[in-house]
């Protein structure tokens, strides 16, 4: 399991983003100890090409180690031309049939990582995902970035996600899932219960309990970050 000496989830209404900060536990713990703090940033960016400059300005004073974007809206060859200083493109899923959508993960150049191909588990609009393995001094973490479109078929989503998780659950790594399921986790719906139950079977629990999207007449939490943790 991943143990956090301190865990904080930061929500930015302006950016519609979430961050998980995993801070080094005390030396007395017998669980894994990170050599440094690990910050993972997740944002539904809704078009990365015309927003990346503004995004960079928001993280200049405290740059995360991992960037997970959903709805990046680019084809593979276009995404290859997006350059983020000090970051490497770790993995991505880009649509070939429909417009927009897509997910990607950027890793700070200080870290060693590899990607795991999960393309066969994806279906445009229903489940779009990418996965990287991040090698830390005392453990390996699998970071999965997942998007489910509101126009996709939710009936396919849990089955595809379960198949994906089954394929990687035997790997000797902990898991963190950054996801935009387009399900409001503030409401106790059947879809929410189904996904929570599914993810709990893999020891994955939600870290975001507050609204991540605030509008004039409504609030919602459609994005979330799930981690292995001690309950």
Query: To the nearest whole percent, how much of the chain has pLDDT over 70?
Result: 78
Boundaries of every domain in the chain: 6-228
**pTM for the full model?**
0.82
Residue 103 belongs to what H/E stretch?
Answer: strand 103-108
Rounded to whole angstroms, the Cα distance separating 92 from 65 reads: 17
Burial class, 161, CB count within 10 angstroms (exposed 0-12 / middle 13-18 / buried 19+): buried
pLDDT higher than 60, residue 155: yes
Instruction: Specify the CATH number for 6-228; select among 3.90.79.10, 3.60.10.10, 3.40.920.10, 3.40.50.10320.
Output: 3.60.10.10
Specify which residues 116 forms β-bridges with.
131
pLDDT higher than 90, residue 25: no
Rounded to whole angstroms, the Cα distance separating 218 from 231 reads: 31
Q: Strand, helix or coil at 121?
A: helix
What backbone phi and psi angles, to 5 degrees, belong to 148? Answer: -125, 120
Rounded to whole angstroms, the Cα distance separating 89 from 87 reads: 7
Give the mean pLDDT of 63-80.
95
What backbone phi and psi angles, to 5 degrees, belong to 5? Answer: -60, -35
What DSSP line would sit under 42-93, residue for residue? EEE-S-STTTHHHHHHHHTTS--SEEEEE-----HHHHTT---TTEEEEEEE
Give the mean pLDDT of 44-67.
90
The model's confidence at residue 78, banded by pLDDT at 50, 70 and 90, is: very high
pLDDT higher than 60, residue 21: no
In this prediction, residue 225 carries a pLDDT of 84
In this prediction, residue 177 carries a pLDDT of 93
Task: Tell me 26's DSSP state.
Answer: P
Q: How many residues does the chain have?
A: 231
């Amino acid at each position: 399991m991943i143990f956090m000496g301190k865990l904080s989830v930061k929500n930015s209404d302006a950016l519609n983003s979430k961050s998980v900060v995993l801070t080094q536990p005390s030396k007395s713990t017998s669980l894994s100890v990170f050599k440094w703090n690990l910050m993972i940033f997740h944002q539904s960016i809704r078009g990365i090409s015309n927003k990346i400059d503004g995004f960079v300005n928001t993280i200049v004073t405290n740059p995360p180690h991992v960037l997970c974007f959903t709805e990046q809206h680019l084809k593979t060859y276009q995404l290859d031309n997006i350059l983020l200083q000090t970051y490497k493109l770790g993995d991505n899923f880009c649509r070939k049939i429909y417009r927009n959508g897509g997910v990607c993960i950027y890793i700070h150049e200080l870290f060693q990582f590899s990607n795991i191909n999960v393309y066969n588990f994806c279906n445009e609009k229903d489940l779009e995902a990418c996965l990287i393995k991040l090698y830390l001094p005392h453990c390996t973490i699998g970071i999965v970035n997942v998007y489910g479109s509101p126009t996709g078929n939710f009936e396919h989503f849990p089955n595809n996600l379960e198949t994906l998780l089954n394929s990687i659950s035997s790997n000797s790594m902990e898991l963190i899932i950054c996801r935009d399921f387009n399900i409001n986790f503030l409401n106790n719906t059947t879809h929410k219960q189904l996904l929570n139950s599914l993810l709990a079977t893999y020891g994955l629990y939600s870290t975001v309990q507050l609204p991540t999207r605030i509008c004039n007449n409504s609030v919602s939490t459609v994005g979330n970050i799930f981690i292995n943790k001690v309950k």
